[in-house]
Amino acid sequence: MRAPGGPGMRRRRRAAAVALQALALGAVVVGLGVLVVLLFDVLRDGAGTLTWTFLDSFPSRRWQQAGFKAAIFGSVYLLVLVAVISFPLGVGAAVYLEEYARRSAMTRFVEINIANLAAVPSIVYGLLGLGVFVRTLGLGRSLLAGALTMSLLILPVIITAAREAIRAVPASIREGAYALGASRWQVVRHHVLPMALPGILTGTILALSRAIGETAPLIAIGALTYVAFVPESVFDPFTAMPIQIYNWVSRPQQGFHAIAASGILVLLVVMLGFNALAIVLRARMQRRSQW
Amino acid sequence: MMSEAQAAQSAAEVPSGLAALSTEGLNVWYGTSHAIQDVSLTFPERSITAIIGPSGCGKSTLLRCLNRMNDFIPGVRITGRVAYRGEDIYAPDVDPVELRRSIGMIFQKPNPFPKSIYENIAFGLRINGYRGDLLPRVERSLRQAALWDEVRDRLRDSALALSGGQQQRLCIARALAIEPDILLMDEPCSALDPTATARIEDLITELKASYTIVIVTHNMQQAARVSDYTAFMLNGRLIEFGPTERIFTRPADERTEAYITGRFG
């Protein structure tokens, strides 16, 4: 039976389909194209100065001698601390909310607020960190203060990712375990968490890769921009890669802009590395848990 | 509703003093829906009781009350008494975790853990305090479930690689390993093919010697084949209960007769 409307309508429908396809393709081209152009630009500016000496030296007032070492170490230490603080807190909160808390107005309130917190601009976290960790708790502009601030920043993201992963564990598995006389904690520890782990890890790694690139909160708590040492303890001052890059870009000399581009390349490599790690880990764990 | 005479008749057909499990005036509400209405039933020791009835009559709900699995459903309200060996399982001082070690459950869709065959059974053993070398116990429960010969060489393989019927037998082995008193089975064969169904029905008949079994089934022929006693439910109420032979040949209630002869269901 032929649809009413005749050949004119068929032609119009076809034209609409083609137009939509072209639009979608165009969006991909534009999006990817911009990224490729940016990448090219950074590579062109920074590849020349990306040397081993650059990676191994401390900053200097002369761009030819300035290096990224303090920033790299600072970022890595910061990241390790943030992971150690935020992972147990985030997973613990997610387990409590999903497995133990009963649905009530209170838990709904908490849920809404966690979603809101994930959307709060990072500078606000920086100011919070400044007030609470740097001043009130007297930690000063230390690695610890920075790590605590960044942990707060990514905690809502980890909690949300962990909750999704935990919720994805089928009810049939839980029921099977309960029916054998398992307590709630035994079900969580032996079945829910192992099955949710790929999702939790992926979410955590992605949250950490975001943390490594955040600049505003670290500036707010006062991460130094001229650090000519590697932090020895968590109470030492520090700098981080985005801070260092920001500092160099603000200088007038062209040479500093070049090494800023090199710094950006290092940061990009680290972030891409993290994301690749998340993908690989997820694929391997999914293969294992599906067996 | 059963008349006084019918109730007396049913009660008399159950040897007194040998009830492993019983309910008295059990009512269950899911929110405002009155799912189980005033059900009083006894499940005799070392026998198989089948609960039959059309979809939605409350059979599974009733079964889940017997090991407090309904506790997990938010908004559920349960009144009345469920007695396990004389003790009310809904009393405030009863620990449902302990209870479920004595009353095991097999589910409609086989739900083995995504672990190895060995681990599936070892988990239940470990959390229930069995220590030492678990392999002999694992082997024994797999033999009880008539699965040992098929998996003896691949205990470390994934349980998910087994066929549906094998998975269900694994779930039975898993439940048997912790030496329960009573086994509750919620339509254990409905997701399986006829061959697997037949094997599991044979298994259930063998298990009767050591366990009290309550099986919910929508398959009347299965109930007639396998069970000693049958309870017929409709719209949340217990209509009739008695020895299977009598229920299927001389049902006292006309609704029972209508269901059994296939006039509805």
> Which amino acid makes up residue B90?
Y
Other Cβ atoms less than 10 A from the Cβ of B209: the count is 7
Q: Are A184 and A225 in contact (CB under 8 A)?
A: no
Q: In chain A, which among 24-53 make CB contacts under 8 A with chain B?
A: none
CATH number of B17-260: 3.40.50.300
Is A191 in CB contact (< 8 Å) with chain B?
A: yes
Supply the pLDDT for residue B9.
Answer: 46
Sheet of strand B19-30, all strands in order from the earlier edge strand to the far edge:
B33-44, B19-30, B76-84, B87-88
For A185-238, write each residue's pLDDT tens digit. Answer: 999 999 999 999 989 998 999 899 888 888 889 988 887 777 778 888 888 888
Do the Cβ atoms of A262 and A52 come closer than 8 Å? no
The percent of residues above 90 in pLDDT, for chain A, comes to 41
Per residue in B25-67, pLDDT tens? Answer: 999 999 899 999 999 999 998 999 999 999 889 999 999 999 9
Domain A53-289 has CATH 1.10.3720.10: yes
Instruction: Considering only CA atoms, give the Rg of chain B.
Output: 19
CB contact under 8 A, B107 and A291: no
Residue B112: its chain A contacts at CB < 8 A? Answer: 176
Residue pLDDT, tens place only, A37-86: 988 988 888 888 888 888 888 878 888 878 888 888 888 889 999 999 99
Q: Which residues of A17-32 are buried (b: 16+ CB within 10 A; e: fewer)?
A: eeeeeeeeeeeeeeee
pLDDT, residue A103, reads 80
Q: Which residues of chain B neighbour A102 with C-beta distances below 8 Å?
A: 74
Interval A244-264 mean pLDDT: 88
pLDDT of residue A288: 65
Domain boundaries, chain B: 17-260
pLDDT of A223 reads: 76
Nearest to A143 by CA among A22, A227, A267, A31: A227
Per-residue model confidence (pLDDT) at position B8: 46
Separation CA B207–CA B223 (nearest Å) = 16
Per the CB < 8 A criterion, the answer to whether A232 and A74 are in contact is no
Whether the complex's predicted ipTM is more than 0.85 is answered with yes
Better pLDDT: A285 or B139: B139
> For B219-232, what is each residue's pLDDT tens digit?
889 999 999 999 99
Interface-testing mutation among B71, B97, B125, with chain A (most A C-beta atoms within 10 A): B97
B126-165 pLDDT, tens digit per residue, is 999 999 899 999 999 999 999 999 999 999 999 999 999 9
**DSSP assignment letter at B158:** B
Nearest CB among A172, A175, A181 relative to B178 is that of A181
Supply the DSSP symbol for A103. Answer: P
Distance, CA of A117 to CA of B86 (rounded, Å): 53
Q: Could you tell me which residues come within 8 angstroms of residue A23 by beta carbon, excluding any fewer than 6 positions away?
A: none
Beta-bridged to residue B82, according to DSSP, are B23
